[in-house]
Each structure stands twice: as C-alpha cells, then as structure tokens.
Amino acid sequence: MNKTIFTWITITIIAVTTSIAGTTYYFTITMQGRRRLVVSTTTSLYDTGLLDAVEEKFEEKNPIDLYFISVGTGLAIKHAKRGDADVVLVHAPSTEYTFLKEGYGVCRKIIAYNFFLIAGPEEDPAKIRNLNVKQALTRIIEAGRNGSIVWVSRGDDSGTHVKEKTLWASIGFNWTVLREEGWFIESGSGMGKTLLMANERNAYTLADVGTYLKYRNEGHITLEALVSEGKELINVYSVIAVNPEKVSTVNFQDAITFIQFLTSQECQTLIGEYMKDVYKQSLFNPAVEILKQENSPITTWIREYAFFNGTECPSDYRNGHPELYK
Amino acid sequence: MVWEIAEGVQKAFQLIVSGDFAVIDATFRSLYISGTATLLAVSWSIPLGILIGSGNFRGKHLVKGFFNAMLGIPTVGLGLILYLFLSRAGPLGIFHLLYTPTAIILGQAILITPIAVTFTANAVESVEPEIKDLAKTLGASETEARLAVLREALPSTFLAVIASFNRAIAELGVAFMLGGSIPGLTRVLTTSIALETTRGNFEFGIALTMILLAIVFSLSFLVNLLKRK
Amino acid sequence: MNLLTLHNIEKRYGNKLALCNVNLEVKRGEILAVVGPNGAGKTTLLKIMALIEASSRGEMYYGDIKISKDKIEEFRRKFTMVFQKSVFFNTSVYENIAYGLKMRKLPKNEIKQRVQEALQLVKLEGYAKRQARKLSGGEQQRVSLARALALETELLLLDEPTANLDPKTVSIIEEAIADVNRRMKTTIVIATHNMFQAQNMTHRTALILNGKIVEIGKTKEIFTSSTRLQSFASLENVFSGNAEPRPDGTTIIDIGEGIKIQAAINTCGKVSVFVMPEDIILSKRPLISSARNVLKGTIIEISDFGSIVRLRVGVNGLSFVVQITKRSFLEMRLNLGSKVFLTFKASSVRLV
C-alpha cells in the first residue's frame, strides 16, 4: 500500500515539476533579458510568411520577442480587448474604427495595402473577366440565380469577409439575405480552405492576393484572378496598439517600438520586396510613403476606404505619440 | 493525391534525416507538452477512475455518464472555455499563463481527463468481483485485497494512459487556443500542421503528420509488445 | 475441541434470508460435509466461515475466543476457502500460489518450496510458469486447491471442489484432500452435493435446506438413520421452486432455469422436491409414454460404480442424477456430451 502511495506521489511530483520546470526553462532561454510583445494578427499577413521576415529583422534590433498569434481580424481584436494581445495587425477599417472609438485601440498606422481579387474558373461562366467590380458582382448574382455558378463566401468575421459584405452592399445587396440563396455557400474557414473549396466546386470567391498567389503558385488551385484592380477591392493593413489606460496589463512601450519599426523605411522596403522575386509581383505594397503624396489615385482610394475623419488615426487616439503622424 | 502524400512521406524522411530544426523542435515540444499533460491528468484521473469504478455510491451512473459525454468534447470548444479562464481578463489571468507551454499542458490534461477516468473506471469494473474474495481468503487485508483488484486492472489502465497521451498529442484546438502556435515556445506538431496547411505547404504538413503518426503507432506497438509479455 | 463455532448465524441479502439461525461446530481435525441442494445456502455458509463475508447476526468463536470485527483480518489467515468457480489473478500459476504466502511475509526460499510441494500434491509439477487463466477447467481447480494447500491453514473450506470435473481430476483432488487431513491434521469443511463423496470422505455430515441446518451427525450414522438425508442422499435430485396447483389435482413446480416439472402432489408456494435417480428413465430418443415429465439434456459427469453407472445430466442450468446399469450404459454408447432425454412420472416427484 505504502509503495503504491509512494509511486503515486512520485508521479504527481514529476508531473508538476516537469510542467513548471519546462515552462520556466523555455522562458529563461527564450527571453534572457528580453521582453515579450504579443501581436494578434490577421491570417493573411502571417500565412504568407511576411511576419516571419519582419520578426527576424525586428528581434535583431530590439530586446523584444514577438509572439504572433495568427487568428484573423475578428478574434485579434477580441484578444486585444481582453488584454491578451499588445498590438493587433488587421485589415478591416470599419471594425478598426469601432475598436478605436471604444477606447481600446490607439496609435493606428496604415502600413501596407494590396488588392483583393475575385477568383473564378478559367472558363468564367459568369463572364466577368476584366469588368469593373460592381458590374462583375452584378453578373455573378445573375449567373448564380439562374443556376450556372456558385459563390463561396468566407462566412467568418475575417477582414476578407468584412470586405465581401461591403462589396455586396455597394451594389445594393445584403450578405445576410444572399447567404440564404442556393448558389451561395459559406466555407466558414480560412482563406486557404475557402480557395480550395472554390476550386473544388469550380466556384467564384473573393480572395486576398497573398494567399491566392501562394496557392496558385504551388499548384493547389487553378482558379484565375478574373477581377483584380479597382478601388472597391483595395485591402488596407493597419497596426493598432492597445490603450494602456483601458487595459492596464499591456506592453504599450514596446508596442510603440514595433509600430515605429513597421513604418520605418527599412521595414517598408522589406514589405514591398517580400516574395516579389518568386511571384513576379508584390504581395504587399508599402503604404507609408504613398500616403504622404497628395495626388496619386491609390492615396485617394486608401483615404476614402481606410481613413477616419480624414486621417489614419484621429488625434484623440494618438495617445501621446504625435511623432508617428508627422 | 497519392503523389502528394508520397511526396509528403519523402519530405518527412528528408526533414528528419537532415535534422530540420523546426520539425525536431515541434516534435520534442509535442512530446514534452503532451507527455507532461498525460502525467498530470493521470495523477488525478486514475485515483478518480478507481474511486468511480470500485465505488458503489448514489449517482454513480450520473458521474460516469458525465465523463462519458465529456469524451466527445470538441477540442476547440474546450480551448475556448479555457482561453476565457486564462485570458488576462479572465479569473486566472493574473498568472499570465496564456500562450505558454503550461497553458497547453493544463488544457490537454483537462481534455484527456474524461478518457483517463472512463477507461480506468471501466478497467476496475471489469475485474471479476471474486478477485477481492480470493485475495481476502488467501490472507490479504481489506486494503491489500483492494490493491489486488487494482493490480488486475493495471494492464487496461495502462491502455488508458496511452489512449490519453494519443488524444493529447493529436489534438489541435487546445494547443492552438491556449498556445497560439508561437515558434520555439508553443508551436507543436498539430499547430504546425494547421499552419503549414493554411500556408499551402502541403508536403510539409504531410511530413509533420507522418511524424505524429509514427509517434502514435510506435506507442501502440510498444503497448502490444508489453501486453504479450 | 472445537476449531470453529457458529452461534445463531443469520445472513440476509436485502429481504432474502439466506441463512437462518445456523449453529455449527467444526471439530479440530475432522472433515465435515455440508450437503444440500443448490441454493440451500452452502456457499454463503462457507464464505461466512471463511470470514470473507459478514453475517447479519450471530457470533463466531475460534476455540473459545470470540471473533470480533476488529480481529477479522487476523483470524482470516487461519482459514482459507476454495471457490466452486476457479478465480485467478491474471498471472502465472507460481504467482497465484505464492500470493497468500507473500501476504504472510514468508521468506522467498520458503515460498518457493511451498509452491513446489503444493503443486506436487495436486500432481501439477512443472506447471509453475504457466498462465493460470489458460489452463483447462480441471487443471484450474487443482491449482486453486494447491493455492489453498500451500498456505497450510488450520481450516480448509472447499465449495463443491469436484463439481463438473472429469473422474481423474476428481480422484486427484479427493486424494489431496484426504492426504492433508491425515498428514497435517488440517480441518476440512466440504460443501458438496455429491453424496458419494460425502459418504466416503467425511467424518461428519450436515444437511442444509433452505438456509437451515436440519440434520447433523456422524456421517455413517446420519446416512443410515436420517430419513431426510437418506432420501436426499440417495437421490440427489433435489429442487426448490414455486408450486402452483392445477385443477386436475397435480402441481406444476417451476424449479428455475425455465424448467417446470409436474408433480402428483397437492401443494402450493415454495417447496423442495426430489426425484429418485432410479425413477428416471434415460433414453437417446424421446419416449412415447404416459409419463408427464420429459426433459432434454447433456451428460456432464459419469461415475462408474461397478455394475451401476451414475450419470449427471445437465438440463439448462440444472443437473439431474440418473442411475442406470453398466450394461445399458455400454449398449447405449453414452459419453460425456451425449444428448439424452430424461422421462419420469408426475408421481415420482416427492416432497423432501
């Protein structure tokens, strides 16, 4: 009996000590004098591998370890509000504005942009190739309703999905009504899976360029980018720090350091060049320089789409860091 | 399809042979995290399972039913609930456990508790009731007789431990929700597989899956070997 | 000198009274048979004597010392019981036999030696390394006995040690029992419904019916004087069940296992009845006759008594003993496992 109890106590002690020891060990080797910054990020930035490249450069320069949690815009903002992230990297301006107005988000900076694209089968039964976005979407609805095509919607709360809803709204349709229709299906999962599903069903879908190029390049999909330009398709990535006055536990100081790094010349170049040699086109375009120009059409598009009251971050939400907006 | 899997297997061998750091790292972390989670779960589940299996109390069926039902809990669902607890805004937020290996260990330990408890309880229950009488008439005291019953249940209990470990190492939801898949800290085999899949690196995903399967299979093999002895 | 005395022992399972006011003295060095039909309470009585089950009421004495609750574990080591159904730890024969010796904290050499001796007693030398649960039924029962013998307890309680076994195993077991009683003066209580065994091996016999000891005495005397035991002993076919009278004056008795027999008795409620083995006609095909009871069964035991042969025939879960001549036994070419029909008249069914 005593032997059994003894064995038992031993197992328990081993279990508890291993878990504690292991964890502390990880912390000491991974953090030796380093601080940690938790970044909740949209999947499209992380899944392309861009953030790995950013992390490497940033950690070389700063005694800060970046912990990227790749979850999508909706959950990223939820994390931030609950104090589980110090910074968010997202791409859904309307959601971001709410985040700011609720007092959680501060020091927003637009760091990059690219374009969403409407991908569809090569034969293009809806005949949308090279149409403008609104015409293309109208054709898709027509073709869908007469049963000749299928549309795959993300159906989660990701930035891409928010964008899709806005696009339908722009031609006078409500996504919640459309989703009830037979030709309209929801994947309920990430961009990659959605693309695979659309490819499988020979369907149309809205995709971010990064994921699309990667999947197309690796041969997982044969869908073509049928509509890929136009101001309606613009996709703007921002970084937002979490307000330390609202969530006391956040690492605000390092968050600012990270934002400064993302908007620096060095990192902006890195963003623009990332994977350019492989795909023969940029996955992401740096936004900081272009926003300083007055007359470029892209600048106008970004302003219309992702600015709040004429600025990327209204002065109330700059939280003592006006230097970011010079 | 077959070609892609074959490529994955080939890639798996390449990665292992070349000692790819990310792969080795995720593999060992998976083993460490799920192993510790299993030990931890075992330390409370087996006594609990024995209590339920050998006890004859009111509401025993309810308790067993509860653990039985919990066998099917979706890992992401459990991950979400635990996330709400461990989140800074949650009741256990002050311990700063979120996105640490400890969080995954705790989460997986909770996840596999129903398996370990149910299997152990069943193992104890399936021992012939006469074993206790036998031990007693051969001169065992009450506690020694109970131990004899437990010893009879031991092989099946051992299976419970292995099944628990397999569930832990193969689950994704808890590891992802509580660990966040941070490379070098909380990235384990399953979260790597998920990530590589969303990144479109299918061979890499298959390779990692092969490693996971290899672990699970060699364990089962080992158990069979021990059982035969 | 009494080794064990039972005083007013009563045992209830819920509402059911399994043992009722049992008074019994076990004398040192004797072999005591406890005979009675299935379900009479033999097993319960033995388990209570083995101190592995508690009585609901009554006292037990070891010598003159009262066995109190707090001393049960100490006294239990003085006795051991062999169950009717063999139970084994899932390990080797050696470990099974050594278990009780280890519990007694004997030195390793001593354990080894005792295991060897016990295996010799049951003629299973060389079986030590075998897996106990993989042995045949007869071998298992012998190992069970060896496991008990190795402990060299003062009292050995055997519950139907030879039921459903082949004649060779039966004789090995009977020899081993007789041997330890003679050599070691081990006191033995043996529950059996094999009357031949009771009559030939034991010093005293107790007859138990419906949870009560109804007769007890020297085996020789009791087998000649007691009418109840005599009837029970010479017949064996004793069954208990619920009787339901029928309009024609006969009674249908449900003796369990789905078997109903018709009796020419006018009675109702719970009764014990018997059928004499010589009143049962055994045939390989159903007989066309006026007899009211026809049962189909399988031969499970054959005992050869020279000119006559006793057969035990399993019918569902019950067993009937039938006595036939050696000659008809040979002519009918009967064997273990042969399918046979049992036929007897309603008037052959008698109350105990």
Q: Pick the residue with more confidence: A68 or C286?
A: A68
Q: Look at B133 and C83 and tell me if their CB atoms are within 8 Å.
A: yes
pLDDT given at position A73 = 84
Domain map (residue ranges) of chain B? 12-228
Q: Where are the beta strands (DSSP E) in chain A?
A: 35-41, 64-70, 87-90, 105-120, 151-153, 184-186, 204-208, 224-227, 234-242, 285-286
Q: Which residue of C has its CA nearest to B142?
A: C73
Q: Pick the residue with more confidence: A251 or C199?
A: A251
A276 to chain B, any CB pair closer than 8 A? The answer is: no
> Residue B207: helix, strand or coil by DSSP?
helix
Q: Are C140 and C65 in contact (CB under 8 A)?
A: no
Mean pLDDT of C192-197: 77
Q: Look at B87 and A83 and tell me if their CB atoms are within 8 Å.
A: yes
Q: Are B103 and B178 in contact (CB under 8 A)?
A: yes
C-alpha–C-alpha distance, residues A225 and A208, integer Å: 10
- Residue C294, pLDDT > 80, answer yes
Residues 6+ apart with CB under 8 A from A277: none
Q: What is the pLDDT of residues B94-108, one digit of tens each?
A: 888 888 899 999 999
B1 to chain A, any CB pair closer than 8 A? The answer is: no
Q: Look at B136 and C83 and tell me if their CB atoms are within 8 Å.
A: no
Q: Are A72 and A157 in contact (CB under 8 A)?
A: yes
Class for the domain spanning B12-228: mainly alpha
Confidence of residue C8 (pLDDT cuts 50, 70, 90): very high
Record the tokens describing residue C27, joined without a space.
């004398």
Q: Which residue of B has its CA nearest to C156?
A: B137
B197 to chain A, any CB pair closer than 8 A? The answer is: yes
Q: Which residue of A has its CA nearest to B148?
A: A1
**The pairing of beta strand A35-41 with beta strand C187-192:** unpaired
Q: Which residue has the tokens 């158990």?
A: B223
The DSSP call for residue B140 is -
Nearest to C52 among B133, B144, B148 (CB): B133
Q: DSSP secondary structure string, C148-185?
A: HHTTT-SEEEEESTTTT--HHHHHHHHHHHHHHHHHS-
Q: Pick the residue with more confidence: B48 or B11?
A: B48
Q: Which residue has the tokens 């006294």?
A: C75
Record the tokens describing residue A317, joined without a space.
């939400």
C-alpha–C-alpha distance, residues C349 and A142, integer Å: 92
Residues 6+ apart with CB under 8 A from A174: A168
Helix, strand, coil percentages for chain B (3-state, nearest 5): 80, 0, 20
Chain B interface test: which of A16, A67, A215, A250 (most B C-beta within 10 Å):
A67
Q: In what order do the strands lie in the sheet with C16-27?
A: C16-27, C2-13, C57-62, C65-66
H helix count then E strand count, chain C: 10, 20
Mean pLDDT of C41-57: 92
Max distance between CA atoms of chain A, in angstroms, equals 84
Q: Are A226 and A120 in contact (CB under 8 A)?
A: yes
Confidence of residue C310 (pLDDT cuts 50, 70, 90): confident
C-alpha–C-alpha distance, residues A270 and A263, integer Å: 11
Pick the closest to residue C232 from C252, C204, C208 (CA basis). C208
Q: Look at C80 and B151 and tell me if their CB atoms are within 8 Å.
A: no
Q: Which residue of A has its CA nearest to B84?
A: A82
**C-alpha dihedral, A54 to A56 to A59 to A60, nearest 10°:** -120
pLDDT given at position C286 = 85
Residues above pLDDT 70, as percent of chain A = 96
Confidence of residue C81 (pLDDT cuts 50, 70, 90): very high
Min distance B201 CA to chain A CA atoms (Å)? 8
Record the tokens describing residue A223, joined without a space.
């869908």
> Residue A219: helix, strand or coil by DSSP?
coil
The DSSP call for residue A205 is E
C-alpha–C-alpha distance, residues A171 and A175, integer Å: 11
C-alpha–C-alpha distance, residues A219 and A221, integer Å: 5
- Residue A12, pLDDT > 80, answer no
Q: Are C146 and C121 in contact (CB under 8 A)?
A: yes
- Residue B182, pLDDT > 90, answer no
Q: Look at A192 and B100 and tell me if their CB atoms are within 8 Å.
A: no
**The pairing of beta strand C65-66 with beta strand C57-62:** antiparallel
Q: Which residue has the tokens 């055997």?
A: C158
Sign of CA dihedral A178, A70, A246, B103: positive
Q: Which residue of B has its CA nearest to A219?
A: B200
Report A:201-240 residues touching B (Cβ under 8 A): 211, 214-215, 218, 220
pLDDT given at position C107 = 95
Provide the whole-model pTM: 0.76
